[in-house]
Each structure stands twice: as structure tokens, then as C-alpha cells.
């Protein structure tokens, strides 16, 4: 399964990273960064009368391969912000998505809206690293973590001042992981992480079980203005859009087209 392969590779990569920069040093770097700036609230950025957009900087994916050959992450992030994006998602997984922590650090210096670190997080080291490179929010995926692991990482993220986007894919995950976490932004991934197939009906099935009052994000599979209207009608506060924007000749025009009347 693709997800299992990604996690196995990511764990080996983390071992190499901790050899280069031990946990105590990464914790120190995080503390320095957090003294310089307070992370922005993802939930606050996504609340509003209009469907909010988390626009993703993504070079490649396991299912689609190379998405954007002329990859200029900082330029894309600046264009997203100028076009009205509410937040930016930056892939930092290097092997399968060709992302980089360096991309996020560079984007942090260029924009003034929240940045989500999009990665497969399972260790406290990754949270300290997220804070150190200037992320405002992190992704915690229910399919990757058991309940205790999710709780421990959630608490540490909050202690560091980082927002959490908790990603669910099933009703069971929503019921187990989203309860009693009112500050957590809740996302439903329309992409099955085991097959990488996309079905917008997923949000329709899972959204009714989201805790009342939480900021809700529909992730993956948004390609048309009708898709935007559909998830908005289901109660989504925001969408996360990556591939559709990355493949566009004009990011600004494509984002305007998607958001028209929504």
C-alpha cells in the first residue's frame, strides 16, 4: 500500500535527519523561532462568510508523478497570497512528493498568511522542526497515528503554538479523533490514502459527524467551480486545493474561476 511505503521511507529519513541535527538542537531552533514570531492561527484565517482556500505548493505526488516541472515555490506562494488565498500548504516530504523543509522556510519569509506543513507526521521531532522552519500549522493524519500518538502530538503542537489540521477519512476516525478538540481544524480527505483514488462523496459521508462549531476543510479532488459549490453546500468552511492550481497556466485566473460565486 502506498501509505505504508511512505511511512516506512519517512521513518528511515527521520533517522538520517536526527543524526545530522539531534532532537535537543531542533528543539533549541524551534524555541529561537518562536521567540521571534508567534504562529498565525489557521482556524482564524479560515473563518468567514466565503469558502476559504488553502492553496498548496506541490511539485509531485505518488499517483500523478511530476505535476509542475517549472517549480518555483516562493513565486507560487506569493501569487497565492496576492490572489486571495487564506493559507498556504507546503509539502515537505522529499521522496514521494519532492517537497522540502527549505521550501517552507523560504515561503515563510515571503508571505504573511498561515503556512501548513503538509507531511506525514508521527514523531515529536517533526513538530519541533515545523516550528523551527516557520510553519504555523501541522497536519496530523488519523490513518497514520493511533489515538494515543495523535493525542500526544496534538498536545505538543498546541504547546508550541501550532495549529493542527486533523485529517480524517472515515466516520470512525471522525468519532475517535475529532471529539473534545474544539480548537482543531478538522479536515476530510477525499483521497483514499491506501489507493490514492479521489471521491468527493467522502466529505458528504463524513462531514455530518464533525463536532459542531469546528472549522471544517474539504481536502483533495477540487477541480471545478461546481465542486466548490458542492462542498460549500455540505457545510465546508474551506477547501485545500493543490494539483488543480499547480497545473494551471495562470494560478490567479484559475483560483478566481474556482471561487466565482462561492
Q: What is the pLDDT of residues 79-115, one digit of tens each?
A: 999 999 999 999 999 999 999 999 999 999 999 999 9
The CA distance from 198 to 15, in Å, is: 32
Farthest CA pair distance, the chain: 51
Tens-digit pLDDT profile for residues 161-195 = 999 999 999 999 999 999 889 899 999 988 777 77
For residues 260 and 254, the answer to whether their CB atoms sit within 8 Å is no
| Domains of the chain: residue spans and CATH | 2-38+52-259 (3.20.20.70)
Confidence of residue 1 (pLDDT cuts 50, 70, 90): low
Dihedrals phi, psi of 202, to nearest 5 degrees: -60, -45
Residues in CB range of 198: below 8 A, 6 or more apart: 190, 191, 192, 220, 221
Query: Residues with catalytic annotation?
Result: 56, 58, 118, 167, 189, 219-220
> What is residue 109's predicted lDDT score, i.e. its pLDDT?
98
With 80 as the cut, is the pLDDT of residue 137 above it? yes
The pTM assigned to this predicted structure is 0.95
Amino acid at each position: 500500500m502506498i501509505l505504508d511505503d511512505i511511512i516506512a521511507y519517512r521513518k528511515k529519513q527521520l533517522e538520517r535527519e536526527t543524526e545530522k541535527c539531534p532532537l535537543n538542537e531542533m528543539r533549541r531552533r524551534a524555541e529561537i523561532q518562536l521567540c521571534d514570531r508567534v504562529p498565525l492561527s489557521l482556524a482564524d484565517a479560515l473563518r468567514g462568510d466565503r469558502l476559504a482556500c488553502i492553496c498548496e505548493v506541490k511539485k509531485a505526488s505518488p499517483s500523478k508523478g511530476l505535476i509542475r516541472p517549472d517549480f518555483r515555490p516562493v513565486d507560487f506562494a506569493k501569487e497565492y497570497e496576492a490572489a486571495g488565498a487564506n493559507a498556504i500548504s507546503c509539502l515537505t516530504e522529499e521522496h514521494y512528493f519532492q517537497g522540502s523543509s527549505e521550501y517552507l522556510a523560504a515561503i515563510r519569509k515571503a508571505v504573511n498568511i498561515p503556512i501548513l506543513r503538509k507531511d506525514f507526521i508521527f514523531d515529536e521531532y517533526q513538530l519541533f522542526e515545523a516550528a523551527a522552519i516557520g510553519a504555523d500549522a501541522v497536519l496530523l493524519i488519523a490513518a497514520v497515528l493511533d489515538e494515543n500518538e495523535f493525542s500526544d502530538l496534538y498536545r505538543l503542537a498546541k504547546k508550541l503554538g501550532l495549529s493542527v489540521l486533523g485529517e480524517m477519512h472515515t466516520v470512525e476516525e471522525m468519532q475517535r479523533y475529532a471529539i473534545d478538540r474544539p480548537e482543531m481544524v478538522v479536515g476530510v480527505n477525499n483521497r483514499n490514502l491506501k489507493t490514492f483514488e479521489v471521491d468527493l462523496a467522502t466529505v458528504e459521508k463524513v462531514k455530518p459527524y464533525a463536532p459542531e462549531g469546528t472549522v471544517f476543510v474539504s481536502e483533495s479532488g477540487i477541480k471545478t467551480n461546481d465542486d466548490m459549490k458542492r462542498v460549500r453546500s455540505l457545510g465546508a468552511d474551506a477547501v485545500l486545493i493543490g494539483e488543480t492550481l499547480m497545473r494551471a497556466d495562470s494560478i490567479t485566473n484559475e483560483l478566481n474561476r474556482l471561487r466565482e460565486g462561492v
